[in-house]
Amino acid sequence: MKLKYFGHSAFQLTTDSNIRILIDPFLDDNPVSKIKSSEVEAEFIVFTHGHGDHVGDGLKIGKRCNSLFICVNELAEWVKSKGLKAHNMHIGGAHNFDFGKVKFTIAHHGSSTPDNQYAGEPAGVLLTINNKTIYHTGDTGLFYDMKLIGEMNPVDYMLLPIGDNFTMGIDDAVKAVELTNPKVAIPMHYNTFPVIASDPQKFKQLVEAKSKKCIVMQFGEEIVL
Ligand code: NI
Ligand code: MN
């Protein structure tokens, strides 16, 4: 399985059987993404919440690729109102798809769509594919239940924000890694805009000081999980 990072909170998972899952594909207006929406394809698109920097180019890509959207109920209904396909889920629920299991978690944040529709609760998402669990926290502040999430769903790769202002900053993100106890932490949601400027190498040092592993992915980089 491969994980590609576009910058901000945008990732693509490609399974061994070549199923592509996009998460929060904010590409065309993402100043740090070298890859634009016309260059990506996806069978599945996951939205953590409705904000423009997460929904991004999802609708456009979904229309072109006939993708199935996976998100919380209210946001899924909004996607359907645009004439696209969605699988409605909600926080705490899991479902098995062709590629693996998806489960939504809480996230402490807000959620509305770019056209100002109610989008339900913001969420994080756990994807379990080939016995590996990836936890994309979405936009969130630190919360103690991350400990419970990690206990109930042992996490291999935790993708979490470090940019501060809208989400956790570095210190809270280090605590989030301690609570969740993933095998590897990967920082996101930083350096896209000046207001979320953050130093991922500082985060990495602090995570490693807690005897945990951290990979700082370059914007546009793809790694094998
Ligand atoms: Ni947001
Ligand atoms: Mn955001």
| Two structure tokens written together for 84 | 């696209």
Q: Write the CATH number for 211.
A: 3.60.15.10
Q: How far is the CA of 108 from the centre of ligand 2 (A)?
A: 12
Q: Among 143, 69, 68, which residue's Cα sits nearest to residue 105?
A: 143
Q: How far is the CA of 194 from the centre of ligand 2 (A)?
A: 13
In a domain, 40, yes or no: yes
Q: How far is the CA of 176 from the centre of ligand 1 (A)?
A: 18
Q: How far is the CA of 75 from the centre of ligand 1 (A)?
A: 13
Per-residue model confidence as pLDDT tens digits over 6-24:
999 999 999 999 999 999 9
Q: How confident is the model at residue 45 (pLDDT cuts 50, 70, 90)?
A: very high
pTM summary value: 0.98
**Number of domains forming the structure of the chain:** 1
* DSSP-derived secondary structure letter, 202: H
Q: How confident is the model at residue 174 (pLDDT cuts 50, 70, 90)?
A: very high
d(CA 89, CA 212): 32
d(CA 200, CA 217): 9
Measure the CA angle with vertex 218, ends 221 and 174; round to 5°: 125
In a domain, 175, yes or no: yes
Domain that holds residue 146: 2-217
In a domain, 224, yes or no: no
In a domain, 225, yes or no: no
pLDDT of the residue at 152: 98
Q: How far is the CA of 189 from the centre of ligand 1 (A)?
A: 10
Q: Tell me the Ramachandran region of residue 38: left when phi exceeds 0, alpha when psi lies from -120 to 50, beta otherwise.
A: alpha
